[in-house]
Amino acid sequence: MSISLPIDPESVKGFLDPKEGEALYGAALEAGALGPCLEIGSYCGKSTVYFGAACQKAGSVLFALDHHRGSEENQVGWEHHDSELYDPETGLLNTLPLFRQTLRRAGLEDTVVPLVAPSTVAARGWATPLAMVFIDGGHAMEHALNDYRLWAPFVKPGGILAIHDVFPNPADGGRPPYEIYKMALASNFFEEISAVKSLRLLRRLGEVTS
């Protein structure tokens, strides 16, 4: 797919492969016509550039949900720690300043609504049906399960559930995203429509069971 983006996503810190980003853009462009979308796990905004640009083109809104303290694997002593994002006051990461910078650089502040909170807290008062939900948050089983169980039910029939870092082979990566992907398929309310590297795109067919 040939797409035009406001900035080069590779100039933004993050872990999304360009091919995955293009697939995310295509799905969001389609889904955005159905209503607002949600991203769980924005980090510094690499995926948000793809997702937000598509929503902007579709005339939709993207809610970008992240506590901006980094996932477990981003913390000190872990594989994906980035010392440039370390906040000595909390001992955790703080990705919010770079995320907001990304939105400004990309001209997406009229499309992307940052939600700075844990996924479980934001879900307490959520009532808006969503055209697309992209799960790319914490990879611990607890976090992945919460993201799926709390947010997948908001995907409208005909909408899209996207899950990142799905690795069928345990040697390639962590299991929780793969497990919630399998749960979504087993629910019989989602069908897979595309697989691009570790990104899975599923179509919502009806009500979701947990």
Pairing assessment for the beta strands 155-163 and 130-135 based on DSSP bridges: parallel
CATH number of 9-204: 3.40.50.150
Per the structure block, which two tokens stand in for 147? 């993201």
| Matching residue, tokens 């919502």 | 204
> Do the Cβ atoms of 44 and 105 come closer than 8 Å?
no
Q: Which residue numbers are catalytic?
A: 139
Residue 86: pLDDT band with limits 50, 70, 90: low
Alpha-helical (H) ranges within the chain are: 18-31, 46-58, 96-106, 119-123, 141-151, 176-186
Q: Which residue has the higher pLDDT, 162 or 71?
A: 162
Give the CA angle between residues 112, 117, 121 to the nearest 5°: 120
Per the structure block, which two tokens stand in for 170? 């345990």
Q: For residues 101-111, give the mean pLDDT.
A: 98
Per the structure block, which two tokens stand in for 66? 């992240």
Domain spans of the chain, in order of start: 9-204
The CA distance from 46 to 66, in Å, is 13
Residue 2 has a CB neighbour count (10 Å cut-off) of 4
Residue 89: pLDDT band with limits 50, 70, 90: confident
φ/ψ of 151, rounded to 5, equals -110, -25
Q: For residues 92-99, give the mean pLDDT.
A: 90
| Matching residue, tokens 């769980």 | 40
> Do the Cβ atoms of 148 and 181 come closer than 8 Å?
no
The pTM of the full predicted model, rounded to 2 decimals, is 0.92
> Do the Cβ atoms of 144 and 39 come closer than 8 Å?
no
Q: Is the Cα dihedral 159, 21, 5, 115 positive or negative?
A: positive
pLDDT in tens, 8-24: 999 999 989 999 999 99
